[in-house]
Amino acid sequence: MTPQQIELVKSTVPVLREHGVTLTSYFYHRMLNNHPELKNVFNLDHQTTGRQPRALAAAVLAYAEFIETPEKLAKAVEHITNKHVSLNIQPEQYAIVGENLLHSISEVLNVPFESDLIEAWKQAYLKLADILIGVEQQKYDQLAAQNGGWAGWRNFKIVSIEQQPEGKFFIISAADQQLIPVAKSGEYISVKVHVPAKGIDQPQQFIFSSVQDTAQQYGFLVKSQPEHSEYDVANILLTHYRVGDELAVSAPLKG
């Protein structure tokens, strides 16, 4: 990036602060309209509660502020890449997100797409995307190299469902009956379910509350959410899934 481009991006921070949530809400709407296949990737329940638009707005702002010192973003990069890897995010999806984000900046801020400002943001986005893609590739490689490990999604079967005071405790094992990595308390997996009558899948993360050291099974608590949409994974698991059913699961990662 040129010094002028860095200045242009930094000068957008106050405007983004003001319009950050509008921008990212608009961005999601635009992207999911143009690429409905991503409805299987993003948690639509989070979209309705507004949690995800706030997270992405915050990440964009943080990056703009630290554009000259990306190493200060290390903690955020660690957090985001774990989440992305847990959701099997792939390099080619960065182009889709980038294109929609830049068009949204241009449309919401009423700046022409062919402008120096959008070009500066393009360079900034590519820089951040490069960092994230590189770290994510390392993490996929590390996960696949573990004993019993895998990268991306793997089919698991529900072994048992036990009623507990706070919810239902699900025990699952790999459908291929091979070993799985041991995991620490506090690590999480993503679990992907089919949404009834919607023709899409939805992922959500579940945290282990104790060590998972059998190398055969994982167990996690699913709590019912008092207020949820039809896309809420916990509610779908609680009402539609039975022992013997299969789920797509990603390998445990640090929370």
**Counting contacts by CB under 6 A, is residue 16 touching ligand HEM?**
no
**Counting contacts by CB under 6 A, is residue 97 touching ligand HEM?**
yes
Contact 143, 108 (CB under 8 A): no
Contact 40, 202 (CB under 8 A): yes
- Three-class secondary structure assignment of 25-56: HHHHHHHHHHCHHHHHCCCHHHHHHCHHHHHH
Distance CA 122, CA 1 (A): 10
**Counting contacts by CB under 6 A, is residue 87 touching ligand HEM?**
yes
Q: Which is nearer to ligand HEM, 128 or 172 (CB)?
A: 128
What sign results for the dihedral spanned by CA atoms 66, 69, 72, 73?
Answer: positive
Distance CA 128, CA 120 (A): 13
Distance CA 242, CA 235 (A): 13
Query: Within 49-68, which residues bind ligand HEM (CB under 6 A)?
Result: 52, 55-56, 59
User: Cα separations (Å) of 156 from 1, 59, 89, 202?
Assistant: 45, 33, 20, 16
Q: How far is the CB of 37 from ligand HEM (least distance, A)?
A: 10
**Counting contacts by CB under 6 A, is residue 206 touching ligand HEM?**
no
Contact 204, 191 (CB under 8 A): yes
Q: How far is the CB of 124 from ligand HEM (least distance, A)?
A: 9
Could you say which of 94, 188, 231, 241 is catalytic?
Answer: 94
Query: Within 130-159, which residues bind ligand HEM (CB under 6 A)?
Result: 132
**Counting contacts by CB under 6 A, is residue 118 touching ligand HEM?**
no
Q: How far is the CB of 88 from ligand HEM (least distance, A)?
A: 9
**Counting contacts by CB under 6 A, is residue 195 touching ligand HEM?**
no
Contact 28, 47 (CB under 8 A): yes
Residue type at 69 in one-letter notation: T
- With contacts defined by CB under 6 A, name the span among 16-24, 42-50, 221-229, 240-248 that binds ligand HEM: 42-50
- With contacts defined by CB under 6 A, name the span among 89-97, 174-182, 218-226, 228-236 that binds ligand HEM: 89-97
**Counting contacts by CB under 6 A, is residue 85 touching ligand HEM?**
no
Residues in the site for ligand HEM, rule: CB under 6 A? Answer: 38, 41-43, 46, 52, 55-56, 59, 80, 83-84, 87, 89, 93-94, 97, 125, 128-129, 132
Q: What residues are labeled active site?
A: 94, 136
